[in-house]
Amino acid sequence: MLKILFVCTGNICRSPIAEETFRRAVKARNLQREIQCDSAATHAYHIGELPDHRTRTNALEHELTLTHKCRKLNGEDFSVFDYVVGMDNYNMENIQSISNRSLGMTQPQENCFLYRRFDSAIQSKSTKTPEVPDPYYGQSSDFEEVYQIVSRCAEGFLDYLVEKHGLV
């Protein structure tokens, strides 16, 4: 079973919607027995809380219900999850720092990367990978933009996993 962890700063906006859109894509391809996912925060701002009400409202508009309670990324996650997927470069720096402290490693892990690497709307894969923008200080349109981005990424990432791991 492949285990995927989506990570953002507070685990209340981007990573919970990434988790749920990915879970929906997995279910649509009937791969629930092969792939599980969760999400976490790099910071402990909202531990135990539901996702931001604007994220939950946006999710409901797309027939998704978010019940995830915020949790913080910890060193054990690197041995439990096969992939740790960050939403922006700041998250990736924190993921690497937590990994370094827990595993004693100093090089980037190949199973940790930015989610927009799999965004089909990005024309050139040779440029710097864009980030999933943080909608926290924005408007409802910003939450919709994040939903659209992570939905595209879910399909691209799932295609990658199916090919790389020979899933059917």
For each successive 10 residues of the chain (168 residues), what is the average pLDDT?
Answer: 98 98 98 98 97 98 97 94 97 92 68 95 73 97 98 98 95
pLDDT recorded at residue 45: 96
b or e along 126-138 (b: 16 or more beta carbons within 10 Å of the residue's beta carbon)?
Answer: eeebbbbbbbbee
Kindly name the residue from 13, 14, 88, 112 that is annotated as catalytic.
14
Question: Is 152 part of the annotated catalytic residue set?
Answer: no
Question: Is 101 part of the annotated catalytic residue set?
Answer: no
In this structure, are residues 150 and 17 in contact, taking their beta carbons and an 8 Å threshold? Answer: yes
**Domain map (residue ranges) of the chain:** 2-165
Q: Which CATH number fits domain 2-165: 3.40.50.620, 3.30.980.10, 3.40.50.2300, 2.40.170.20?
A: 3.40.50.2300
Question: Is 134 part of the annotated catalytic residue set?
Answer: yes
